[in-house]
Amino acid sequence: MLKKHSMKVSLGCVISCLMFAFSCTKVNQPLSKKNMDNQENLHNPHYSRTDKNIVHLPNTVWKRILKPELYHIAREAGTEMPFTGKYNEFDEKGDYYCASCGNHLFKSTAKFASSCGWPSFFEADKNGVKYRKDISHGMDRIEVLCKRCDAHLGHVFNDGPPPTGVRFCMNSISLDFEPEK
């Protein structure tokens, strides 16, 4: 009986490891520019890359117009798994916008390879982001939010490269990318 149980456990471990390995290899496949477009914005009437008015909506409305994964990160301050985001190893030239409202956040010229598992930038659009103290999970950090809609984007740390010395560690799902024309 014990032998059967350990075989089931071993088989389960093997299947889990294989699923994890295949999911990781899929993440590292090249992405086309077409895949970078955030199609969920077609159903978000508050998404605009030109409107600078502050968006004040209750989370009940955000929950209806955002995909569940984006809602969890942007409205509940979740974090995507490291090394899984579509912009982690992405280096095309262009601009990054808030996936919830379309507000401009970063230029690709400020992106750098930090090897932390999330897209990292050394400088943000000062009109695009704001900051809030975050003491969740037993850590003392600085949360980065979209200045237009208050979406959670990630955190900023004082271990970045020159010229700023800071690292904006962002969730890919909170970002949209527009390639340089």
Residues 54-70 have pLDDT tens digits of 999 999 999 999 999 99
Q: Give dist(CA 55, CA 46) in Å, integer.
A: 7
Looking at the fold, whether 125 and 59 belong to one and the same domain comes out as: yes
Local structure of residue 65 (DSSP, 8 states): H
Q: Give dist(CA 7, CA 21) in Å, integer.
A: 21
Residues 92-141 have pLDDT tens digits of 999 999 999 999 999 999 999 998 999 999 999 999 999 999 999 899 99
What is the domain range of residue 59?
33-179
Looking at the fold, whether 74 and 127 belong to one and the same domain comes out as: yes
CB–CB of 108/122 below 8 Å?
no
Residues 11-60 have pLDDT tens digits of 443 333 333 333 333 333 333 333 344 444 658 999 999 999 999 999 99
Residues 145-158 have pLDDT tens digits of 999 999 999 999 99
Both tokens of residue 179?
């390639």
Looking at the fold, whether 87 and 162 belong to one and the same domain comes out as: yes
CB–CB of 143/171 below 8 Å?
no
Catalytic residues: 169
Give the chain's domain count: 2
CB–CB of 110/121 below 8 Å?
yes
